[in-house]
Structure 1
Amino acid sequence: MKMESLTPNIMVKDVNATLNYYTSILDFKIVDTNPETGVFEWGYVQSGNVGFMFQEEKSLKAEYPEFQNINPGGALTFYIRVNHITQLYNNIKDKTTVIKPMNTTFYGTYEFAIKDLNGHILTFSETPSV
């Protein structure tokens, strides 16, 4: 057995607003939504090999009753490897909440982190070529 990919399905209050944020700020593309138009209860975005699914809170709680007493959000970060990190940083730094500015880590990568409109933390990283 070999695992092929991982695409988190994230509980959010407003799928439409979340898709708009990811497409307009982070340049993700919408792959699929449910329903096809109108007020979405689920949506899937992708950029390169990175994908996120977002599902409306009521819908996800109906699908997984175990989530009934859990609010959207979570104590986790999404670590995303990118290329052209400086260009990405410059393109989005004034459009979103930067919580960790561009820096060089002790292990030699360039990184910065943002908080999306739902409070999720995304860390972007690029390893410089030698």
Structure 2
Amino acid sequence: MKSLSPNLAVKDIKESVAYYQNNFGFEIEMLVDSLQEDFNPVVKEEKEYIWALIKKGDVSLMLQEKNSMKEDIGNFFNDISASITLYIEVDDVESLYEKVKENVEILKPVYETWYGQKEFYIKDINGYILGFSSKA
């Protein structure tokens, strides 16, 4: 195995990309429009998108519009949301928390774990649980 890239089913690609860009500094690596003709990493308002690859440092996420995912792999799920928790290590969890706390749904504010980490958990706009961590 070489890498792991979660592919998250989302309601709206543009909205989800903007959420991750604005709150966590992700950058678009690739976008795929609904006609599968345009792979330019620049969002165009007139286009509808079915897939995006976003990246921040060594963390990559694939975002796929829910109906497009069902077409690709079948109707194995009824709803999108937290069936997994994404655990993301960052340099300074407290600074990130201060930056995003007013713009995201906080599930658990910053706390220190028994295993020497500081963490906080959020629910993103599609219902996925993201945990952020750095050394205490």
* Global fold match (TM > 0.5): yes
* Distance apart, 1:74 and its partner CA: 3.4
CA distance in 2, matches of 1:66, 1:57: 10
For 1:33, give the aligned amino acid. L
CA distance in 1, matches of 2:64, 2:121: 23
5+ residue gaps in structure 1? none
Q: Select the residue among 39, 58, 64 that pairs with 1:49.
A: 58
CA distance in 1, matches of 2:21, 2:73: 27
* Distance apart, 1:70 and its partner CA: 2.7
1:78 maps onto 2:76 in alignment: no
Q: Deviations over 1:74-116 (max 9, x none)?
A: 3221001110211111111111111110000011101001110
Across the aligned residues of Structure 1 and Structure 2, the Cα RMSD in angstroms comes to 1.3
CA distance in 1, matches of 2:78, 2:73: 11
**TM-score, normalised to structure 1's length?**
0.90
1:87 maps onto 2:95 in alignment: yes
1:110 maps onto 2:108 in alignment: no
Give the 3-state SS of the residue equivalent to 1:25 in structure 2.
Answer: helix
1:23 maps onto 2:21 in alignment: yes
1:8 maps onto 2:16 in alignment: no
CA distance in 1, matches of 2:93, 2:6: 23
* Distance apart, 1:7 and its partner CA: 0.6
Q: Deviations over 1:21-61 (max 9, x none)?
A: 00011111111100244211001111111111011111111
**TM-score, normalised to structure 2's length?**
0.86
User: Could you tell me the percent identity over the aligned residues?
Assistant: 35
Give the 3-state SS of the residue equivalent to 1:118 in structure 2.
Answer: coil
* Distance apart, 1:11 and its partner CA: 0.9
